[in-house]
Structure formats: C-alpha cells, structure tokens
C-alpha cells in the first residue's frame, strides 16, 4: 500500500506527534485538577493551583531543554517513556497520601505541597517536548527554512484562510511570507491542547473515569514514543546490532521497557472499570476508617457505580475495636455514600427521615390539601414517609440514574417500599435551583434532603439566591425544613450559614434533633440535627398530638422547642452565587458522630 506523501514526510510526522503529546499534556492537567478536587474539595482552588503550577513547570522544562545534547530523538523517546511511568503512578501517589496516615503528623500545608509533586513532574517533562520537537522540525527543513512540499500542500488552505481573516483587523502582507516553522509547530501544540480538553471533558472522564483516563493518556504517550522511534530509526529493528542500538540510538532495555509499559497500560485501559473500582475501594475504605478513632472501624466496599453527577458507594462498616460497639448495634452494618458524603446507615436511616419528615408535618393537616416540596431525596425514602401522611408531594432531584437504581436497590428498597408509585407524588428530574427559578407553585412545607457542602460545586444550594427563592415558594404559613451541621463540629460553616439565611430573609429558626437508640443499649441518643426556617410571618408549632408515633414517642423534647430569631455573626459574609464564601465547605465526618 502506497503511503500518502504527507505521511512520508518526517516533518508531517513530527507535527502529528506534537498534536498527540500536547493532547496528553493538557488532559493530564485536567485529570490531576479533578482528582485533587474530588479528594480535597474546592474546584476553583484546585484547578487554579494546578493550572498555575503546570504552566510554570512547562516553563521550567522548556528552559531545561537547552541543556540536552543533540541526540534529540533519543531524548524525546525517553521523555515520553518517563511521562508514561510518572503520570499514572502520580495518581496512585495522590490517592495514597490522601487516604493514608503517612503525613498525618505533619502540618496540612505539607500534604498540599506533596500531592502536587506529580503535577510538577509531568509539567516539567511536558515542557521538554516542544523545544525538542521544534529543533527536530527545523533540522528536517531545507536550507531556505521551508517545510517540505507535503506539509505545505496540507496547510496551504488553512494558511490562506488565516491570512484573509487576519487582514480584516490587522495590516498584513504576502511579500516574502514563508510558512514559519515555529508558528506551525505551536499551532499543532495549541490544537492538541484543545483536543485534550475536549477528549477529557466529553469522553475520558465521563466514560473511562479518572484513573482509566490517566492510564489511557500514558498509553498514548508510550505508543507515540514507539511509533516515533520506528519512524526516526537510525537502524532497523535488529536486536543483534553491533552498537546495541535498536531505534533512535536508544538501548534495547529502554525500548523493551516501553513495550512492556505500553502493554500494561493498554490492559489497564481495557479493564478501566475494574481498575477504577480497585482504586476507589482502596481510597474509600481508608478514608472511612480515618473518620473513627484508630483501630475501631473496618470498612469494606461492597458495590459502587458512577452516575453523571456522583460516585455511589455501598460499604459495610465493622466494629473491630476493644470493648462494646458504641456506634451501631451488632458487629457490622451497611451504609451508603454519595461522593465522599455519607447518605445513610442502617442504624439511623429511619430516625433521620422521621426527623426530616414527621416532625415538621406535625404542624399541618395530614391530607392531600397539604403541599410538600422535596428538593433532593432521590433515594425515595422521604417520599415513603410523606406517603404515610397522605400529603401531596413534588420531588425534585437532578440525578435520574441514581433514582432509577434506587428503585430496586436491596438496601434502599427496604426503606422506600416502592414510594415512587405513590399516586400523589410528582417527580421532576431537574437541578433544585433551576426548579425554583421556573416554578410558580407554592408549598406548605419544603424539605431540603440535599448533599452537604463538601465542595464548591454545591455552594449554589447554600447561597442567598437559593434561599431567597425558597421564601418566594412558601405559602403564608409555610416552613422550610432541613438537616444541618452542628456549630460545635463546624463553627465556620455554621456562622456563615446563619448569616446567609438571615440575608435571604429567613428571620426565624427552630432547631431540634432526631432521637433513637442507635446502638440498642436501651438509652435514647441524639441523631441528626434539623432546622425549621420561616421568613417574617406565622411560626407554626410542632404538635406531637398531631404527629406520627415517632413524634409522640419523643413529645417531651418536641414540646420544648421554640422559634428564635436567626442568629447573625460578625466577621462572616453571607454566601452568594457570584461571591461564594468558602467557609461553608466542610470536611466530611460521619453523621452519627456529630
């Protein structure tokens, strides 16, 4: 088969290689930024620091490239090989540091520096690539500095279009204009960056996952190195070569390592789901165990899957500490997490939903004339409790995949009892904020069964704009009910949250707890904490006599509750969409330890 003239050109091959390695480099940057966001929270912080460090490291690598010797083919081969090793190992290193105890005794700042070492290493190596490619393209050009005819034919149409576009807004000239080597290689480098961003955003991350994405990119780096070495071989593929050189003046051992690494990375890419599950299980199990006193809880991931919006993880937590288990009854129990935030455990799933639903509904008539809006609640358990009160329910959750899985999930269906079939339930697959902006309905009770503020992707649901929309959707006697973090465990979050509520118009707050015998020792314990919120106007009272059996059981506590003015705190700015207050972001802890 005749090879097209364009592909026979070494300059053309170098331009193609430039696109490939730039694609990998930019996609690595996005992968590391997202990994750090998942593990440490703060999208703006992690992406900003990663991009800044990466571009600085590119500059360092570009400067260091001047000290490399003239055997550029060999150096380029080694650069791709090193990236193929360091990039995937860097992901595992970051996960290990975050999940383990290796740096626990050191200041947090040290950990934040250490986990960014892979970003710097990959950035420096990527910075070596462009100067070497520029030099090699220049070496392949003729004495006039032109590119070969094959490349010039390929780019002539693009060059003409670019000239005409530039003529619209700049002074231009065709006199003596030659297609410049540096501009052509830089153009390919920028094109590769765009393709890397598109590939990561629209395919790699959603379809392959973080770990699989980096393995796939490293595979591409190694494959590019091997193909590059074949195209620019100084000798044939002959392992008996007298000078022990195989390709690009490189030793046999390096080429063999590159081949083996390519095979391993290709296998990891082919089994990306299994690889992602193994890494995720390792991280989640270690992270969960660190939330408890040392050597008391052992976590075992039993199942997991990823939707468009979140990682869903099922696990067993087992008591392995000395003495009696004070956290939950029995030896072990099953739990569920969405992302890194705990969603429910068997020991408190019922008491949580009694507190969220039953307590505020004791203020209202239990009939279909009472309209309730649930924001979140895709596990259907809140809907089940509402069904028992025979009220009309609108449920809004953005994650339709999770809601569908929850219908037949072995753990969740024990608590929701097919509540999705409730005849007075209407479901909306929509972001809660967007729903509030578009609906004109009003509700007697709005329940927020939303994730905690564990990263800034959720801060729009903790903003003055969001809570202002809630005030507009309440009936004259309406109340908002939500679970809450305690001010003792998370004072920064609590103070900022209270100021945000007050700024949005919620001038009154009533706080209470859910109660249960969480470990079956015969004593009542505090479970989750909740707030009821109202703007100026009516302040309905919790009425145990009008409540469920759960509310009547704890009537002594609920009769003692009272509305108070929403507290405000000096030095804490309310959070808004366009000026978020990152004090709201919390480091997740187990719910039943709060």
Which pLDDT value is given to residue 280?
87
Does 154 have pLDDT greater than 70?
Answer: no
CA distance 138 to 17: 15
Please report how the helices 210-231 and 10-40 are oriented relative to each other, as an axis angle in degrees rounded to 10: 160
Q: 98 pLDDT band (50/70/90 cuts)?
A: confident
- Torsion sign (Cα): 591, 578, 204, 97: negative
What single string gives the DSSP state of each residue in 463-480? SHHHHHHHHHTEEEEEEE
Highest CATH level, class, for 348-593: alpha beta
Q: 244 pLDDT band (50/70/90 cuts)?
A: very low
Q: What is the per-residue pLDDT across 310-355, written as a single tens digit (0 to 9) for each?
A: 889 999 999 988 878 777 888 899 999 988 788 899 989 999 999 9
Does 49 have pLDDT greater than 50?
Answer: yes
Does 155 have pLDDT greater than 60?
Answer: no
H-assigned helices in 70-209: 72-99, 108-114, 117-140, 149-167, 181-199
Question: What is the separation of C-alpha 104 from the centre of its chain, rounded to a whole number of angstroms?
Answer: 23
Q: Are strands 425-429 and 443-449 parallel, antiparallel or unpaired?
A: unpaired
Which pLDDT value is given to residue 593?
40
Type and span of the H or E element at 312 = strand 311-319
Q: What is the per-residue pLDDT across 246-290, written as a single tens digit (0 to 9) for each?
A: 444 566 778 888 889 999 999 998 888 888 888 888 888 888 888
Q: What is the per-residue pLDDT across 19-39, written as a single tens digit (0 to 9) for each?
A: 999 999 999 999 999 999 888
Question: What is the separation of C-alpha 307 from the centre of its chain, rounded to a whole number of angstroms?
Answer: 11
Average pLDDT over residues 446-465: 89
Average pLDDT over residues 81-94: 94
Where in the chain are the domains?
A: 5-135+179-274, 277-342, 348-593
Q: Are strands 245-247 and 297-306 parallel, antiparallel or unpaired?
A: unpaired
More confident residue, 383 or 244: 383
Length of the chain: 594
Calculate what percentage of the chain has a pLDDT beyond 90: 49
Q: What is the CATH number of domain 5-135+179-274?
A: 1.20.1250
Calculate what percentage of the chain has a pLDDT beyond 70: 87
Inter-CA distances, 300 with 188, 336, 340, 384, Å: 47, 12, 15, 29
What mean pLDDT, rounded, does the chain reach? 85
Helix-, strand-, coil-residue percentages of the chain, each rounded to 5: 55, 15, 30
Token pair of 424 as six digits: 């007075």
pTM for the structure as a whole? 0.80
Which pLDDT value is given to residue 250?
62
CB atoms near residue 471 (< 10 Å): 19
Does 172 have pLDDT greater than 80?
Answer: no
Question: Measuring CA to CA, which residue among 523, 527, 517 is closest to residue 483?
Answer: 527
């Amino acid at each position: 088969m005749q090879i097209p003239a364009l592909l026979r050109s070494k300059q053309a091959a170098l331009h193609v290689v430039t696109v490939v390695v730039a694609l990998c480099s930019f996609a690595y940057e996005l992968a590391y930024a997202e990994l750090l966001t998942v593990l440490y929270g703060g999208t703006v912080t992690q992406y900003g620091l990663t991009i800044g460090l990466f571009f600085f490291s590119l500059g360092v690598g570009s400067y260091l490239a001047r000290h490399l010797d003239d055997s550029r083919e060999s150096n380029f081969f080694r650069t791709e090989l090193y990236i193929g090793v360091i990039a995937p190992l860097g992901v595992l290193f970051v996960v290990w540091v975050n999940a383990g105890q290796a740096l626990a005794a050191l200041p947090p700042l040290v950990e934040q520096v250490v986990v960014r070492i892979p970003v710097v290493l990959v950035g420096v190596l990527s910075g070596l690539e462009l100067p070497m490619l520029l030099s090699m393209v220049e070496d392949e050009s003729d004495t006039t500095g032109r590119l070969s005819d094959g490349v010039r034919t390929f780019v002539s149409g693009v060059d003409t279009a670019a000239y005409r576009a530039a003529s619209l807004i700049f002074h231009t000239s065709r006199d003596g204009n030659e297609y410049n080597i540096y501009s052509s290689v830089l153009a390919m480098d920028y094109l590769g960056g765009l393709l890397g961003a598109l590939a990561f955003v629209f395919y790699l991350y959603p379809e392959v996952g973080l770990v699989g994405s980096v393995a796939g990119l490293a595979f591409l780096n190694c494959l590019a190195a091997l193909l590059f070495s074949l195209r620019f071989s100084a000798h044939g593929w002959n392992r008996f070569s007298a000078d022990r050189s195989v390709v690009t003046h490189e030793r046999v051992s390096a080429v063999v390592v590159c081949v083996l690494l390519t095979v391993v990375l290709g296998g990891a890419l082919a089994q990306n789901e299994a690889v992602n599950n193994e890494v995720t299980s390792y991280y989640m199990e270690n992270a969960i165990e660190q939330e408890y006193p040392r050597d008391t809880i052992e976590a075992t991931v039993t199942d997991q899957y990823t939707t468009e919006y979140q990682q869903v993880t099922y696990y067993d937590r087992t008591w392995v500490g000395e003495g009696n288990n004070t956290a939950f009854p029995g030896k072990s129990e099953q739990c569920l997490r969405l992302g890194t935030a705990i969603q429910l455990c068997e020991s408190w799933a019922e008491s949580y939903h009694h507190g969220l639903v039953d307590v505020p509904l004791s203020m209202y008539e239990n009939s279909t004339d009472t309209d309730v809006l649930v924001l979140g609640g895709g596990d259907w358990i809140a809907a089940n409790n509402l069904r028992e009160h025979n009220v009309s329910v609108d449920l809004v959750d953005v994650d339709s995949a999770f809601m569908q899985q929850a219908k037949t999930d072995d753990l969740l269906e024990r608590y929701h009892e097919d509540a999705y079939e409730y005849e007075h339930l209407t479901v909306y697959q929509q972001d809660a904020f967007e729903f509030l902006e578009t609906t004109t309905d009003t509700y007697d009770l709005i329940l927020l069964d939303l994730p905690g503020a564990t990263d800034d992707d959720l801060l729009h649901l903790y903003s003055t704009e969001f809570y202002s929309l809630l005030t507009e959707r309440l009936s004259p006697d309406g109340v908002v009910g939500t679970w809450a973090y305690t001010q003792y465990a998370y004072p920064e979050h609590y103070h900022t949250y209270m100021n945000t509520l007050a700024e949005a118009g919620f001038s009154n707050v009533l706080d209470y707890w859910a109660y249960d015998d969480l470990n079956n020792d015969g004593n009542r314990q505090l479970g989750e904490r909740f707030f009821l919120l109202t703007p100026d106007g009516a302040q309905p009272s919790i009425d145990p006599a009008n409540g469920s059996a759960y509310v009547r059981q704890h009537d002594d506590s609920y009769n003692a509750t009272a509305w108070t003015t929403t507290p405000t705190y000096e030095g804490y700015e309310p959070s808004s969409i366009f000026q978020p207050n990152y004090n709201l972001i919390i480091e997740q802890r187990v719910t039943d330890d709060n």
